[in-house]
Structure 1
Amino acid sequence: MTVFLLLYLCTDATRTDCQVVQADSWNGPSAYEQCTDVVPGLTEALTAPNRNRHRFVCEVQSDSEQNVRHRAKPAFIHQSFRM
């Protein structure tokens, strides 16, 4: 099992317009626990306003998903919201 630590960089607190950045990754049976252990410290290191906008997420991927991901080109998704 592979776990990715993803940082969601969002423009505001609604988190509707975010860019995802891979911050770290772990492999093995305890990968998820290792990831979730670092999230509180990283979140606390953010400034108070940024804690409301940005967040860290641990995402689990099976080995088969990882192989497909490496072969496929990343897709750029553009979202537009009008009020």
Structure 2
Amino acid sequence: MANALHIQRRSARNHLSAVPARFIVGRDRRGSWIVQDREGLVGGLFRSEAAALHFAAEECNHNPADICHAPEGTVLDLDGFASSSSNLH
């Protein structure tokens, strides 16, 4: 979980970066955890924050610069993805 803490600390500074993080981790309206990539190609719905962070880390070869948390109060959704359940993990 040390990686999760590192990612949380970076989330506040990440919006200032010239290159945005590849993945954003946050919650949907029901409180489930969501991972979205900035292009809407990869992501999913997860039962826990740890599972969401694990997925994002695996997808970006554990580069913490590619992962950030959504700003406080932001609600994410999977509307950008195809309606196929194959995108949900």
Per the TM superposition, whether the score is higher than 0.5 is: no
Larger radius of gyration: 1
Bigger fraction of residues in strand: 1
Q: Output the TM-score relative to the length of structure 2.
A: 0.33
